[in-house]
């Protein structure tokens, strides 16, 4: 279906109001460590994004940094699958990245 302004609208589609995060490391400031696991460290961070008015804003977030060299191939496959599934979720606690 095409709307009056010419954009496509899919029947049954829901609006995704979640902020898209960047996969560019320069868009984040990493701060202190707040947790760790066998193959990762979680850091307090700030995401720098451009708001609708053009101003750069900071959004507090957490970054999980994985050491992929420490993962066994089977664990890496599971992590890849989990990440793909989480990217489909519409949960506000999960960050979406754009490429």
74-84, pLDDT tens digit by residue? 988 988 888 78
Report yes or no on whether pTM surpasses 0.85: no
Q: Say what the pLDDT of residue 99 is.
A: 47
Q: Say what the pLDDT of residue 23 is.
A: 84
β-strands 20-22, 96-98: how paired? parallel
- Cβ-based neighbours of 41, under 8 Å, separated by 6 or more: 33, 35, 64, 65
Q: Confirm whether 63 is domain-assigned.
A: yes
Q: Say what the pLDDT of residue 31 is.
A: 96
Cα 61 from Cα 11, distance rounded (Å): 33
Domain enclosing residue 60, as ranges = 28-69
pLDDT one-digit tens code per residue, 1-45: 556 666 666 666 666 666 677 888 999 999 999 999 888 899 999
Q: Confirm whether 12 is domain-assigned.
A: no
Q: Confirm whether 39 is domain-assigned.
A: yes
């Amino acid at each position: 279906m095409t709307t009056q302004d010419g954009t496509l609208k899919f029947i049954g589609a829901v609006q995704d109001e979640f902020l898209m995060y960047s996969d560019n490391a320069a868009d984040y400031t990493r701060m202190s460590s707040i947790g760790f696991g066998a193959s990762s460290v979680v850091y307090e961070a700030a995401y720098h994004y451009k708001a609708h008015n053009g101003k750069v804003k900071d959004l507090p977030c957490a970054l999980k940094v994985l050491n992929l060299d420490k993962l066994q191939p089977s664990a890496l496959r599971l992590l890849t699958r989990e990440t793909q599934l989480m990217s489909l979720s519409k949960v506000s606690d999960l960050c979406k990245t754009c490429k």
